[in-house]
Homo-oligomer: A and B are copies of this chain.
Amino acid sequence: MPTRFDQDTRTHRTAEHTWAGHVRPAWGNANPNGGYLLSIVVDALRQASPHPDPLSITAHYLRPGLADRPCEVDVRVLRSGRQTSTARATLTQDGAARLEVIAALGALGEPGVAELAPPAPRIPPPEACLPRAGATPGEVLPILEVLDIRLPADQVQPGAAGKAELDCWIRFRDGRPPDARACLLFVDTFPNAILGLLGSVGWVPTVELTAHLRRRPVAGWVQGRVSTIDLADGRLLEDCMLWDAGGHLVAQSRQLALLRPPAPRSGT
């Protein structure tokens, strides 16, 4: 039986350059999570490419996705080499209107084994950590029904970290092992690092996210660290690093996001 993630990100080819999918409601809060939408894009990309995993993928978020509605992914392979392929993809929704939600560019290939990589920070083990909280007290995050996200006890409350840097553990609740595509989801599902410094912040929409997959993760918990050292004019850059259960760096990402005044709708 397919896992929830595979089922909810599945696409099938309907024309030479077109894959059809469905944006499910579970993967987001007010809006579908950007990493979730990107996982749908990459499902189509890897079918179109001779290479299995995204080594580098950039997504520009043009408008919020529509939950519980079909989507289409248009894929054009721009270059197909021996070691890597490059492809462009566009995720649209709303049928005839073809609203562009994501414009993406990716290089696909086969990740390798690191010669140089930063070690995972030492943090308390998952069983000693607490579940990710909402951005406001009592807020329920629907995505936590499918993902188990935990933070060290001294970082879990917004503002408690005292700096724009947060550590996390993450895994699928249904036991699906992590892979390259799951990493794209994970990097966009942690609390925003800036929450650790500022406490409550509003919805922090992603303008652009670039992720690099460095190694295939082994089964088990994935450890993440998000940090922001750069905030200008209401726009921040957030970096994320992921390590697998073997302690190996598996992904790095950076996103440009908008910091808005706190509002009733919040969360990543």
- In the complex, A208 has a CB within 8 A of chain B: yes
Interface size counted on chain A using CB atoms at 8 A: 45
With A117-B232, A230-B117, A232-B115 as known contacts, state yes or no: A107 contacts B55, CB within 8 Å: no
From B63, B78, B86, B256, A55 is in contact (CB under 8 Å) with B256
Binding-face segment, A40-48, A131-139, A181-189, A233-241: A233-241
A55-B235 in contact (CB<8A): yes
- In the complex, A118 has a CB within 8 A of chain B: yes
Inter-chain contacts of A231 with B (CB < 8 A): 114-117
Copies in the complex: 2
Binding-face segment, A64-72, A172-180, A210-218: A210-218
Inter-chain contacts of A236 with B (CB < 8 A): 116
SS class, residues of chain A in contact with chain B: strand
With A100-B79, A229-B117, A252-B230 as known contacts, state yes or no: A56 contacts B208, CB within 8 Å: yes
Inter-chain contacts of A233 with B (CB < 8 A): 111-115
B62-A79 in contact (CB<8A): yes
Inter-chain contacts of A234 with B (CB < 8 A): 112
The distance from the CB of A17 to the nearest CB of chain B, in whole angstroms, is 15
Scan residues 72-124 of chain A and give those whose CB is less than 8 A from a CB of chain B: 78-79, 84, 86, 88, 100, 103-105, 107, 111-118
B100-A208 in contact (CB<8A): no
- In the complex, A60 has a CB within 8 A of chain B: yes
Inter-chain contacts of A78 with B (CB < 8 A): 60, 62, 100, 103
- In the complex, A207 has a CB within 8 A of chain B: yes
Interface of A with B (CB < 8 Å)? 55-56, 58, 60, 62-63, 78-79, 84, 86, 88, 100, 103-105, 107, 111-118, 164, 207-208, 210, 212, 214-215, 228-237, 249, 252, 254, 256
Pairs of residues from A and B, 5 with the lowest C-beta to C-beta distance, nearest first: A112-B233, A116-B231, A114-B232, A58-B58, A56-B208
